[in-house]
Every structure is written in C-alpha cells, then in structure tokens.
Amino acid sequence: MNEFLPVSNQDMLDRGWDEVDFAFISGDAYVDHPSFGVAIISRVLEANGYKVGIIPQPRWDTTEDIMVFGRPRLGFLVAAGNIDSMVNHYTVAKKRRTTDVYTPGGVMGKRPDRATIVYSNLVRQAYKDIPIMIGGIEASLRRMAHYDYWDNKVRRSILLDSQADLLMYGMGERIIVEVADALNSGIPIEQITFVNGTVYKVSDTSSVYDAEFLPSYRTIIENKDQYAKSFYKQYINTDTITAKRLIEKYKDNEYVVQNPPMQPLTQSEMDRTYALPYMRNYHPMYKEAGGISAIEEVKYSLTSNRGCFGGCNFCALTFHQGRVIQARSHESMVKEAESFTWEEDFKGYIHDVGGPTANFRSPSCDRQVKKGVCSTKQCLVPKPCANLKIDHSDYVVLLRKLRSIPKVKKVFVRSGIRFDYLINDKDDTFFKELVEHHISGQLKVAPEHVSDQVLEKMGKPQNDVYEKFTSKYKEINDKLGKNQFLVPYLMSSHPGSTLEDAIKLAEYLRDLGYMPEQVQDFYPTPSTLSTCMYYTGIDPRTMKSVYVPKNPHEKAMQRALIQYRNPNNYALVTEALRTAGRHDLIGFGPECLVRPRQFAKDFTNKDKPSKVNVDSNKSSKVNVDSNKSSKVNVDSNKSSKVNVDSNKSSKVNVD
C-alpha cells in the first residue's frame, strides 16, 4: 500500500485497523521522506509488520490530540523532530526565531520548548502505564546528564525528566525493530535492558554487568572538573566495538544505564531502508497552509552515507551517528535518482549527493573495521593519520553514473566535503570533477577560523591546509577556464578564541578583500566537546584550562571584527582594537581596519570592494574576475551537522 501512514482515526479505520501498534508523536509536521527520522523509523516498523499512526505537532495543552488513535497496542514513540526543539526555537543569543521550516507555512510555535519532555509527560497523563520510548536528535544528545545552554545549568538525563521508559540513541532502524519485537513477544518494557543503542533506568545496579560508573549527578553539578571527566569518558565510549556500558547515579535508588551503541547498518540494510515506499513529500493536509519548506532542498537529494570520522569538536555527530562510515550501493542510489525523473516537478537537478561528510564513502582505515575507531585519536587532525585511506574513486564513479541518467541536467554536491581529506588525495580526479561538474558559481567552505590555536580547539586542520586547498581550487578553476568563488564559513567566539585571535581573522579578511554578510557565533548545543569546554573552561582531552569568551559584549566585539567594514560595527571594532592594544590598525594606512572616528563618516560603502579581488601570487586567496560583481553570502544557520537527524545538508559546504 503506497500511501501516507494514518494521521487520524478515520485513516486508521480506512485501512481496516482497529488499533495501531505504535503511535508516533513528532514535533515536526509529517513529511514522508527519508531525510526525516520519523519517516524512516515508521516505514521500517511498517516493513516489519507493525501498524504505525503518526501524530504530528499535537497540541500540548490537552491530551485530545495524542489520543486520536486510542491506546496503541505496544506503546508510544516520541521525537522532538529533525532538530533539537531549543535550537529550533532560539538563536545563539537566546532570541526567539520567527520561522520554523518544519511547520506548515513556516509558522513558529507549533511545538513546545523541550518537546520530548512535554510530549512524553502528556502521554503519561493520558495513559499511566503505557510504554513510552523516546528518540531522535533531542533525546540522543541528552541521554545522560548534560550542560544545557538555555538554562545555563547541568540538567538530568532526558529519560528521567520525560518519564519515558526507554531512550533510543543514534540511528534507530535496528534498535526500533529489536525493541518492537521484544514488546510484541510480551516482554515488559522495564525488562528490555539488553538492546544496544538504548538507555534505561534502574533502582539498583546489581543486574547490570560489565559496566563503568560515571561520576554521580550530584558530583558533576558541584565540580566542573568532574563534569569534564564524565563527558570525556562518554566521548571515548561511542564506538560500537570498543564502547563500555556506562552507569550514572542520581539517587541511591535511581540510576541511568547507557548500553553500548548499536552496530551500524550494513550496505544491504541501508539500501533496504532507503528503498521503502516513502511518499517523498509532506502530507497533503498541509498544502493549503503553504506546505513544509524543509522538503524543498532534500526532496531531490540523495543520502549517500552516514557517520563521520572528521571529528569537529563543535559537532555532535560523534555522539549521534558515530565515526563509522556507512554507505549505500551505487545501484540503490541510481535507482532512487531515476525515480526523480518521473516526478512532474523535477527540473533535472539533483540538489545533493552526500551526508554528514559527502566525500567519506568508506571506513577511515582497515584497523577501524576490526578493532573500532581510535578512542583518543582523530583521523585527520592535527595531521592525517598514517593509516588513513584517502580515496575518492568510488565517489567519482557514483557521481558519473548519476550524471549520465537521462533527464538529469546537473548533480550538485552541497553537503559537507572535508577539504583536508580532499587536499591530501594524491589523485586530483575528484577535485577536478567537483569543480567542473558539481558546483555552480561558488563553493561554500568551512575553515571556521585562521588562528591555529583556535582551530586546534575546534578540531579543525591548521590554516595552512586551508590555504593549500584554496590555492589548488584556484589552479583547477583556471585550468578549466571557470570563474568560480569560494565562500568561507567563519565562526566567532569559539572556546579558545581571544580578541587577538579575532583581530587576526579580521586582518586575514582584510588581505582577502572580503567581508562576510553573516557570521555564526559558537552555539553550545548538547553533547559536543566544544560545549564541554564552554561550560567548564576545561579541555576534557587534556584537563587543561581554556579561555572561553562568554561576556556578551566581548562576543559582540569578536563578531564585529569579522565584519569590520560594516559602518554599524565601527564602535565595537575600535573598542576591540584599543582593548587589545592594536591602535596600529586604526588609521589611514593600507593595513588599517578602520579610520579615526572623525573620519569614520567617510568610511562608506564606496570603500568596500564589490568583489573578492585576489592577488594571484598568494595561495590563500580566491581568484575572482574583477569585471564581474558577485554576491558572497555565508549562511549564519550553518551547523553541526549535527543537530539534524536526517544526516542531510542543503548547503554547499566544505567542512
């Protein structure tokens, strides 16, 4: 039956069902597309013989909406949506956002703050003893005690605050089937403690085997050193082969137990997941309200892989998807792409072929396959590991196959490409084909900063690697006779960044002749290594102190320095320069960032270069045709990859 899953009691009855096995509550509107976690999990359950009803964006001031199907036979599934509800609602300045792309017409306010907790407590009001299982990005990254930026405190495991029975973390296809089968066989939810990728609660730990204790909740809220140690123990226990079972104590009779991660999907399992009968669109009930804009970039995109061994410290992928790469077969992806060509609104453009990092299509090394990823080492930083296999040949063949499909005009690569992995490939074939076939006019890249001490805290390669990449990009464009630009993503106020580092970045932009239109402040989202640094002032890898810019005024100065040419930032820029003792950058010389105040009125738009003029003798510059104007834009919503459950990105981003 190729149709949307039931969203109403009438839909359920029309299918000939008296009840559903699972009622699935989601903070997002219902979009039946494999870029949406709710769609994947519900279709996987359906494929395994279970009846699923979807309850999208229910009201939370009444139990009426969540009772639409009556009491489900096996239990409720609850997810906040593709994005953490707090990130969805608030900017890094904690100001309320005005639109929600996962809601009909982009209307804000159709889901509550901390949606997983609110929805689960609502279910508990309606059905006192029914199994409640939570999952998705919000639950996954809050599975143990965690620093919460919006409350500015350490909160308990979301399993406790939600009153749920079981938490499923990471990518959940295998997990949900094991849990569903256990419930269906009559095993009570409190006895389902054996499934990897789950977190459960117990009153005593006598039955928990082969486990390590984390510092207690009381200890970590009283001692930031202990919080850092606890976080790092969790961080190094995220691999499916090497991870230990972890226990966190809250009271003498209250413990939270995290099982090791679930094994990743095999290629055939991943192929089957993406071949399920998705409708590939939002439910038609939303059409009158303007539809769901989140579908626009992903509708004709292809998920190529999952997982990321890149290890950016501000990214939550290590905690959510893990560092093991899983990839779909060429046949699976070509078949999906061919299905696009029969769609009435397909214009010939495949918007993306990728995942968290598009150019990772295989495990980082042979050792990883048998022994797991290195728990205390990264594959690419500070230098590429000697065991790292750098090979783009499989990706090149895949993209060529997709380009050759009739009615396909262009295949874009818009999700993250790790530029340090790319530049270390001795074979330039992929780099050349990326430039020639898979971008259009500009490529967004993510150096994030230019100060090596800040980049080290970010888990990013040193700046000379990025300069090597830009030089190669220019060289390839020149050989191909193309006039394409690089647009760098930049981040201000990351732990480790001082005013001096921000000034260094401003000087770099001065030499580049480029001012980004928008800048992303570091956003301390749950369960990232950078967020741990932000809260504790400690690098948990070394337990050494790290400078953290937290004062809003200093953060404003750091952000203003990146946009020093904006006249609205004049006061902040001059204050920052004077505070740092860099009076030499205030004046009329070619190295100066701003003019003295009495001449500031002359510093208008006429002084801004309308294009990125580049000295071709400098490898760090991007070559731009001076006869053509260009609009360069950095998306301030660039993130972590990470706060998205669908492992898709709609931006041209080189990470």
> Over the stretch 379-389, which tens digit does the pLDDT of each residue have?
999 999 999 99
CA atoms of 169 and 571, how far apart (whole Å): 46
Q: Which of 302-316, 328-342, 565-579, 586-600 has the lowest mean pLDDT?
A: 586-600
Rounded Cα distance between 227 and 369, Å, is 31
Q: In 10 A of CB 6, how many CB atoms? A: 22
Average pLDDT over residues 541-566: 96
Q: Which residue, 388, 417, 440, is CA-closest to 304?
A: 417
Quick one: pLDDT at residue 476? 97
Q: What is the pLDDT of residue 599?
A: 52
Asked if residue 646 has pLDDT above 70, the reply is no
Burial (CB count <10 Å: 0-12, 13-18, 19+), residue 442 = middle
CB atoms within 10 A of CB 90: 17
pLDDT value of residue 38: 98
Q: Is the pLDDT of residue 608 over 70?
A: no
| Segment among 17-21, 316-320, 404-408, 556-560 with least mean pLDDT | 316-320
Find the angle CA(516)-CA(552)-CA(594) to the nearest 5 degrees: 45
Hey, which residues does 281 pair with through a beta bridge?
Answer: 32
User: Cβ distance 515 to 464 under 8 Å?
Assistant: no
Band of pLDDT at residue 598, cut at 50, 70 and 90: low
Contacts of 64 (CB under 8 A, 6+ apart): none
Q: How many CA atoms lie within 13 A of 604 on its CB side?
A: 3
Cis peptide bond N-terminal to 382, omega within 30 = yes
Give residue 441's pLDDT. Answer: 87
Dist CA 384 CA 308 (whole Å): 15
pLDDT digits (tens, 9 = 90+) for 496-542: 999 999 999 999 999 988 888 778 999 999 999 999 999 999 999 99
Element (H, E) at 132: strand 132-135
Determine the pLDDT at residue 626: 35
- Closest to 316 in 3D by CA, of 605, 83, 96, 40: 83
What is the model's pLDDT at position 1? 53
Give residue-wise pLDDT tens across range 144-198: 999 999 999 999 999 999 999 999 999 999 999 999 999 999 999 999 999 999 9
User: What does the alpha-carbon distance between residue 253 and residue 173 come to, in Å, rounded to a whole number?
Assistant: 32
What is the arithmetic mean of pLDDT over 253-278?
97
* Residue 153: predicted pLDDT: 97
Judge whether 170 and 262 are in contact, CB under 8 Å: yes
pLDDT at residue 632 above 70? Answer: no
Instruction: Report DSSP state, residue 585.
Output: G
Contact by Cβ (8 Å): 30, 24: no
Sorted by where each starts, the structural domains of the chain and their CATH numbers stand as 9-258 (3.40.50.280)
pLDDT of residue 643: 42
Which pLDDT value is given to residue 519?
A: 84
Does residue 305 have a pLDDT over 60? Answer: yes
Cα 180 from Cα 48, distance rounded (Å): 9
pLDDT reported for residue 605? 43
Contact status, residue 180 vs residue 45, Cβ threshold 8 Å: yes
Structure confidence at residue 517 (pLDDT): 77
What are the tens digits of pLDDT across the range 15-40? 999 999 999 999 999 999 999 999 99
Q: Which H or E element spans position 468?
A: helix 463-480
Q: Please give the backbone phi and psi of residue 223, each rounded to the nearest 5 degrees, phi first.
A: -140, 110
Per the CB < 8 A criterion, the answer to whether 649 and 418 are in contact is no
Q: pLDDT per residue over 349-370, tens digit each?
A: 999 999 999 999 999 999 988 8
Span 63-80, average pLDDT: 98
Please check the confidence at residue 488 and state whether its pLDDT lies above 80: yes
Structure-model confidence comparison of residues 399 and 318, the more confident one: 399
pLDDT over 80 (residue 47): yes
Query: Does the pLDDT value for residue 325 go beyond 80?
Result: yes
Res 651 pLDDT > 80: no
Find the mean pLDDT for residues 262-274.
97
User: Which residue is listed with tokens 């990146």?
Assistant: 562
Per DSSP, the three-state class of 352 is strand
Q: List, in sequence order, every beta strand (DSSP E) within 496-591.
A: 520-521, 538-539, 544-545
Phi and psi for 626 in degrees, rounded to 5? -70, -10
Percent of the chain with pLDDT over 90: 85
Burial status of residue 61 (CB atoms within 10 A of its CB: 0-12, 13-18, 19 or more): exposed
DSSP-derived 3-state class of residue 480: helix
First-to-last C-alpha distance (Å) of the chain: 40
Question: d(Cα 541, Cα 321) in Å, to the nearest integer?
Answer: 21
CA distance 2 to 5: 9
Secondary structure element (H or E) that encloses residue 445, with its range: strand 442-448
E strands in 238-337:
245-251, 254-258, 281-282, 301-303, 305-306, 326-327
pLDDT at 84: 97
Q: Which residues pair with 166 in a beta bridge?
A: 133
Over 90: is that where the pLDDT of 440 sits?
Answer: no
Q: How confident is the model at residue 645 (pLDDT cuts 50, 70, 90)?
A: very low
DSSP-assigned letter for residue 61: S
Instruction: Report percent pLDDT > 70 for the chain.
Output: 91
What interhelical angle do 173-184 and 267-274 show, nearest 10? 80
Average pLDDT over residues 556-574: 95
Radius of gyration, CA atoms only, the chain: 25
- Region 478-501: mean pLDDT is 94
pLDDT of residue 297: 87
Q: Using the Cα atoms of residue 216, residue 222, residue 228 and residue 231 in order, give the sign of their dihedral.
A: positive
pLDDT band for position 655 (50/70/90)?
Answer: very low
* pLDDT at 338 (0 to 100): 97
Helix axes 393-403, 429-437, angle to 10 degrees: 30
CB 120 within 8 A of CB 78: yes
Q: What is the DSSP string of 12-46?
A: HHHTT-SS-SEEEEESS--EESTTSHHHHHHHHHH
Which residues are bridge partners to 411 per DSSP?
A: 350
* pLDDT the model gives residue 415: 81
**Across the chain, what does the average pLDDT equal?**
91
Residue 510 to residue 554: CA distance in whole angstroms: 21
